[in-house]
Structure 1
């Protein structure tokens, strides 16, 4: 047993076994690695393992900075123009705080138990860190402080799974039943309204979205390339023409002649549709191919924010946009539908596809191209975390009360700012998506393991004291805000059901819920609503840790 009490062994074993049991799935509900890690750590903590507070604090600072860094671009975009959906994050916070206040008054929860209930029912693990830090600043005997911090972890572990079950079942089963809605049919109808076609569904199944075909010029003879492409709303491009034995490059002023073989590239449905203006399809001439490129570009050009994808062709000069296609759009790390009716936001990462030179020109017009490679800028990362810790040490006194963000809140604010700076200039401060996800997952897992190992000996007391009360409250506190948002969104704001359900998943910061919704909807339409509230809730919910602690202390008998 002495081997298991080694802190390094205990932490890593908690991660390994925690993520193993976290893979267990019951229907659409999965425990998840973080909750699994906490459960294993609580069990190993019974052996008296103690982990250095320095490791715990370092891991949490890394996690919360990476969280802010990835959320920064979308957060700043949404606080300016996304509050129509962002109001649901406020509904989540206000409703949960009211329910929490009632629970504290009814059951006499201490600040740690209340914070754990908040974190678990809202499925926001970062609250554990901000609440634990707030408790450490209270003027309390050390034994009481340790007990409260242990209660955070225990209450979270007892309520997280039930909070997750409640939000998944509500959004995928109960909400569609309340609204008498067929989620799949409505998601498909909304996708078609945004410009989706059957070919987009084929592309999801593995067929290419952008294709190239060759045709006899037919009735188009006599037109210029520019006139032909404009007649198809620039949805296709004639990139090469075979005239006799010559293979010619084209410009908008290039005149088509009878007998030409034209090579047309564009979205599958658009290329198929040009057959009524061209002659018979012919084999693609040899040597027609040329270098094509893809490039990820972060949108920073203000003039495109709030516009649909289809508007870009009207906004750009023909020589800039011809032959360029958007094959993917990512927002907050999630793929959203790359359809002609999709509305673009600041910080969106669009993938451009087309001829290499044309892609480079278009990238300069839209924003900042992400540099190739996947190296992390550790200067930027280290400086960002240190700045966050410095911010966290600042405090303001109002009467007898001292207000401070703490290291968690400071690192979050710093991450938001540094993420915004990187969006403005991607050539500096690189923290690739894979590295950011690792920093978030590993940092949070190490922090949770340390919390669980420290709380282990005190966990049984809370479980014995409250029994099934905490799991029941986890269900209730998760369910009620979702129901309020559903009624507000459907009755007052008239938001389409697939997007509204994505909004509710986002206000809850629940990745398993959006995954279940996308699976049930049959497309990624719910993600459109999810990314807005996820960006805002991911910032606001962690900051509630200290507020919950203060509220519980004020209401305690």
Structure 2
């Protein structure tokens, strides 16, 4: 242990490796997860008085919380509408309940501010509260440095115990007990709801899947019926929905210009939407297998829609406004909204500013359309200028103190970076031409930032873990279970009786208000469907912003 004390960087990464290994252990549908595993390992190593400079913890927590906000920002603001208001009510139930119960337990059992905050963070299974609460404790003016260190250690220990019991409770309650209470078979109900929704919005595919029948296709035909007709005449008869990309006459490749007249036995390559290309055979002639030399590569562009004139128009209207679509053989194959919502490229799909259109077609035609619709999305490298300014803005915002009577309230670095992350992420989604933070990079920094922060917190809390567990051994598991059951049960009743939320969506939404990834994983396994995820993503985005703010609120109230 002397080596770890002299080289704390070894201790940090040992906590990460051991914690994520421990987090992979599975008991039925439940796994601890890497963050909880890291905290357990850090507490054990921390008992040997291994510590890390507090500045390391602050820096990595800022990276984590900004990345969290950046990823959630587009969806968070997209959900601030009348349609999502009923889901927002579930998040408010969660907030009021966990704050009320934590405050009540603190008063009833004379808990210190650190223990109460740890119970709140663990029972709500929201790791970010650990950071916002410990940071707020450090700013309480009437505490000595020794008390601050002690209370911050209590946050980590209480969080660990309550998290374990809260995690088990939310997983079992949402995936097993709630469907029984609502008298449904979750798999059947999810399938029925999906069939109903699919009729209105089209199907979707997972990230690791590809369409078996892609929308845009190319096919080759032998000219018989179209003998003597020009390329323009054939395209006009097909309503301009297909384009000629190549014509082969004998051994010669001809440029498919509008005035070119087709002759018997020409081989032509046409490209377009599947339904229209299939119908081209009746006008041109019989389909043939792929022909060497008759193949034109198509370029792909992801274009961020920035022009005001496109707002609220359907894809069909865009194609009418821009003849280049038909003339140049360019097609919309996908619409991406808010970084993760993939919409079908149907004629009636409405486009909004900030949407990303996937365009496929000849390179020359693509370049013309890009200039008229917006700009090519560049998301392959991180814009560190945007990232750095976002964290600076969040840190400055966190220094602002607002007094509610005698209670000083401050977002702190964590809360400030969360708010700035939301705003910077949303603003990026509206432009897509600057401020790139690729999803893989953001996810890596988010996970690494939280893991290092939790490791540092656990190492500092290690010496106090044993005495605290002896003092509050029974209370902590009880708090972890109660603070899950109460808000979840109220949300279940309100969601069904008052808000009329569809049952599969409600189960997912309750897991989301708790920010519990293990719970939604278990729910989707039971449902054999991703339908509950539709409810989960809304409340998860909202709670990810709101729950971390409960740490400073509770600390401010109890500290006063």
TM-score, reference length from structure 2: 0.83
Question: In the TM superposition, what are the counterparts of 1:424-503 in structure 2 within 5 Å?
Answer: 424-503=430-509
SS of residue in 2 equivalent to 1:326: strand
Alignment partner, residue 63 of structure 2: 62
Q: Which residue of 2 aligns with 1:324?
A: 331
CA drift of 1:276 comes to 8.1
| Residue number among 362, 380, 386 corresponding to 1:380 in the alignment | 386
Could you tell me which residue of structure 1 aligns to residue 12 of structure 2? 11
Separation in structure 1 between the aligned mates of residue 541 and residue 120 of structure 2, nearest angstrom:
19
Structure 1 residues 3, 269: closer, same or farther in 2, change over 3 A? farther
* Worse-matched range after superposition: 363-372 or 478-487: 363-372
RMSD over aligned CA atoms reads 3.8
- Find 1:172's aligned residue among 149, 171, 175: 175
The 1-side partners of 2:531 and 2:312 are apart by 17
1:324 and 1:355 in contact (8 A); partners too: no
What secondary structure, in the 3-state scheme, does the structure 2 residue paired with 1:287 have?
A: coil
Could you tell me which runs of 5 or more consecutive residues in structure 2 were left unpaired when the two chains were aligned: none
| Separation in structure 1 between the aligned mates of residue 14 and residue 483 of structure 2, nearest angstrom | 32
> How does 1:212-251 map onto structure 2 within 5 Å?
212-215=218-221, 224-225=234-235, 228-229=238-239, 237-240=242-245, 242=247, 244-245=249-250, 247=254, 249=256
Question: Is contact 2:353–2:430 with CA below 8 Å preserved after alignment?
Answer: no
CA deviation vs aligned residue, 1:67-114 (integer Å, no higher than 9, x gap):
222223333333356642333322321232233334334434332222
Aligned residue number for residue 533 of structure 1 = 539
Please state how far the C-alpha of 1:390 moved relative to its aligned partner: 1.8
Residues 5-84 of structure 1 mapped to structure 2, 5 A cutoff: 5=5, 6-79=7-80, 83-84=84-85
Task: Report Cα offsets for 1:119-176 as digits up to 9, x if no partner.
Answer: 2222221111111111112212333322221111111111223333333334433333
Deviation at 1:357, TM superposition (A): 4.3
1:391 aligns to what?
397
Matched, 1:121 2:128: no
Alignment of 1:248-267 (within 5 A): 249=256, 263-265=269-271
Which residue does the alignment assign to 1:2? 2
CA distance in 2, matches of 1:487, 1:506: 16
Say whether 1:145 aligns with 2:144.
Answer: no
Change (3 A) 1:477 1:226: farther
CA deviation vs aligned residue, 1:257-308 (integer Å, no higher than 9, x gap): 997766454566776687788864321344343232333445556777788x
Aligned counterpart, 2:424: 418
Output the CA distance in 1 between the equivalents of 2:497 and 2:283.
Answer: 47
Deviation at residue 419 of structure 1 after TM alignment: 2.6
TM norm structure 1? 0.83
Residues 62-211 of structure 1: pairs in structure 2 closer than 5 A? 62-79=63-80, 83-84=84-85, 85-138=87-140, 139-179=142-182, 180-181=184-185, 182-186=188-192, 188-190=194-196, 192-196=198-202, 204=209, 207=212, 209-210=214-215, 211=217
Deviation at 1:53, TM superposition (A): 1.0
Asked if structure 1 preserves the Cα contact closer than 8 Å seen for 2:98 and 2:483, the reply is yes
Partner SS state of residue 102, structure 2? helix
- Structure with larger Rg: 2
Deviations 1:407-446 (A, max 9, x none): 2122222223333443344443332222222221111111
Say which SS state the counterpart of residue 204 (structure 1) adopts: coil
- Do the aligned partners of 1:240 and 1:247 also contact (CA within 8 Å) in 2? no
Q: Aligned-pair distance for 1:56? A: 1.1
* Cα drift, residue 399 of structure 1: 4.2
For 1:345-401, what per-residue CA distance to the aligned partner results, in whole angstroms no more than 9, with x for missing partners?
Answer: 775655444444455555556655321632x33333333322222222222345433
Partner SS, residue 547 of structure 2: helix
Structure 1 residues 39 and 314, CA gap change in structure 2 (3 angstroms): same
Cα 1:52–1:249, aligned 2, differ >3 Å: closer, same or farther? same
CA-CA distance at 1:320 after TM superposition: 5.1
Quick check: 1:406 aligned with 2:408?
A: no
Relative distance call for 1:345 and 1:202 in structure 2 (3 A) is closer
Could you tell which deviates more after superposition, 144-153 or 37-46?
144-153
Q: Could you list the per-position Cα deviations for residues 442-491 of structure 1 after superposition, in whole angstroms to 9, with x for gaps in the alignment? A: 11111111110111111122222222432333233224333333443344
Distance 1:508 1:348 in 2: 29
Maintained 8 Å contact 2:165/2:477: yes
The DSSP-based 3-state class of the residue aligned with 1:3 is helix
For residue 220 of structure 1, report the CA deviation from its aligned partner: 9.1
User: Which structure 1 segments of 5+ residues have no match?
Assistant: none
Judge which range, 312-321 or 111-120, deviates more: 312-321
Moved more, 338-347 or 415-424: 338-347
Contact 1:37–1:449 under 8 Å retained in 2:
yes
What CA distance in whole angstroms lies between the structure 2 residues aligned with 1:513 and 1:302? 41
The alpha-carbon deviation at position 502 of structure 1 amounts to 3.7
Q: Contact between 1:133 and 1:406, CA under 8 Å: does it hold in 2?
A: yes
- 1:542-557 to 2 correspondence within 5 Å? 542-553=548-559
SS in 1 for 2:73: helix
Deviates more, 1:290-299 or 1:146-155: 290-299
Q: Given the superposition, is the C-alpha separation of residues 479 and 214 from structure 1 closer, same or farther in structure 2, using an over 3 Å criterion?
A: farther
Q: Check conservation: 1:298, 1:368, Cα contact below 8 A.
A: yes
Larger displacement relative to structure 2 (173-182 or 401-410): 173-182
User: Can you list the C-alpha shifts for 1:498-518, whole angstroms capped at 9, x where unaligned?
Assistant: 444443333333333444445
